């Protein structure tokens, strides 16, 4: 599996950076979504994973029982070896706090992990790929796509 990483200093003209939500990777692992095929059909896009999503995915591995645990671990290791992981930085924290306060003030709070994924994407000017668009809908300015 090959994915193009997004370098902070690279030119992004004509390229779309996409932060993958956990559900996209999970459906790929479960075989309910052709993740590799979808990624291959977007050769100009740059795929990344937010650090919080890595924690969510490893949590799934830790909760699994054998023999599924080994299969899930191998799949996740393969995916993560191919994708850049976007760290939670001070700049991400500022964006996170801004979105959190905004959503809280209008009573439209979203899940804690989704909030961090959204902050990561907004801070980088990236899209979020997810099958749970409604989770991200309250976040103003966030570009969300559903993989097909």
The string of pLDDT tens digits covering residues 78-94 is 999 999 999 999 999 99
Q: Is the pLDDT of residue 136 over 80?
A: yes
Q: What is the pTM of this model?
A: 0.88
Q: Name the average pLDDT for the chain.
A: 90
Is the pLDDT assigned to residue 41 strictly greater than 50?
Answer: yes
User: Which pLDDT score is estimated for 1?
Assistant: 54
| Region at 49 (left for phi over 0; alpha for psi -120 to 50; beta for the rest) | beta
User: Which residue pairs, CB below 8 angstroms and at least 24 apart, start in 3-8?
Assistant: 3/39, 3/46, 3/47, 3/82, 3/83, 4/45, 4/46, 4/47, 5/46, 5/48, 5/83, 5/84, 6/46, 6/48, 6/84, 6/124, 6/126
| Mean pLDDT calculated for residue range 66-76 | 94
């Amino acid at each position: 599996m090959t994915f193009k990483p997004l370098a902070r200093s690279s030119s992004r003209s004509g390229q779309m950076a996409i932060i993958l939500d956990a559900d996209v990777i999970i459906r790929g692992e479960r075989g309910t979504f052709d993740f590799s095929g979808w990624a291959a059909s977007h050769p100009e896009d740059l795929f990344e994973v937010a650090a919080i999503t890595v924690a969510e995915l490893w949590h799934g591995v830790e909760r699994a029982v054998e023999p599924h645990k080994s299969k899930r671990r191998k799949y996740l290791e393969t995916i993560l070896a191919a994708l850049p992981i976007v760290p939670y930085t001070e700049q991400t924290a500022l964006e996170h706090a801004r979105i959190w306060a905004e959503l809280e003030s209008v009573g439209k709070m979203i899940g804690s992990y989704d909030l961090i994924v959204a902050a990561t994407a907004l801070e980088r000017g990236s899209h979020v790929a997810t099958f749970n668009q409604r989770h991200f809908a309250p976040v103003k300015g966030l570009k969300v796509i559903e993989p097909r």
